[in-house]
Amino acid sequence: MLVAVLGTITLFTGTMQALKQEQSKRLLAFHSIGQIGYILLGTGACMALLPVATPATTALATIAFFGALFHVLNHGLFKGLLFLNAGSMLHATGTQDLNKMGGMMKYMPLTAVTALVASFSISGVPLFNGFVSKWSIYVATIQGSRSAHYLLVCAVIAILTSALTLASFIKFFGVSFLSRASTLVKARVAANNGRLEVPWMMQLPQVVLAFFCVLLGVVPAIGFRLMQHALQSSRGGLGTTLASASPMESGPVGGLAQRGSAALFAPIALAAVLGLMFLIVYGISKLGSAQRRAADPWLCGYVREADCHRYVAHNFYGEIKRYFRWLGGMPRVHKPPALKEPL
List, as one string, the DSSP characters of 278-313: HHHHHHHHHHT-PPP-------TTT----GGGS--G
Stated pTM of the model: 0.87
pLDDT of residue 209: 97
- Paired strand residues for 205: none
Does residue 26 have a pLDDT over 80?
Answer: yes
Three-state secondary structure call for residue 167 = helix
Of the candidates 207, 264, 267, 175, which has an alpha carbon nearest to the alpha carbon of residue 85?
207
pLDDT of residue 43: 95
Q: Band the pLDDT of 343: cuts 50, 70, 90.
A: very low
pLDDT of residue 341: 47
Rounded CA separation 143/152 (Å): 8
Least-confidence region, from 166-170, 180-184, 219-223, 333-337: 333-337
pLDDT of residue 240: 64
Instruction: Considering only residues 296 and 50, tell me which one the structure prediction assigns the higher pLDDT.
Output: 50
- What's the mean pLDDT in 179-189? 85
Other Cβ atoms closer than 10 A to 97: 20
13 contacts 325 by C-beta, under 8 angstroms: no
pLDDT (tens digit, 9 = 90+) per residue, 46-77?
A: 999 988 878 788 888 888 998 999 999 999 99
Q: Band the pLDDT of 36: cuts 50, 70, 90.
A: very high
Three-state secondary structure call for residue 237 = coil
- What's the mean pLDDT in 325-339? 66
- What's the mean pLDDT in 29-42? 96
pLDDT of residue 7: 96
What percentage of the chain reaches a pLDDT higher than 90? 50
What percentage of the chain reaches a pLDDT higher than 70? 87
pLDDT (tens digit, 9 = 90+) per residue, 238-254?
A: 666 666 666 666 666 65
- What's the mean pLDDT in 82-109? 92
- What's the mean pLDDT in 216-233? 83
Instruction: Considering only residues 8 and 192, tell me which one the structure prediction assigns the higher pLDDT.
Output: 8
Can you give 53-118 as a three-state secondary structure string? CCHHHHHHHHHHHHHHHHHHHHHHHHHHHHHHHHHHHHHHHCCCEHHHCCCHHHCCHHHHHHHHHH
pLDDT (tens digit, 9 = 90+) per residue, 107-166?
A: 999 999 999 999 999 999 999 999 999 999 999 999 999 888 999 999 999 999 999 999
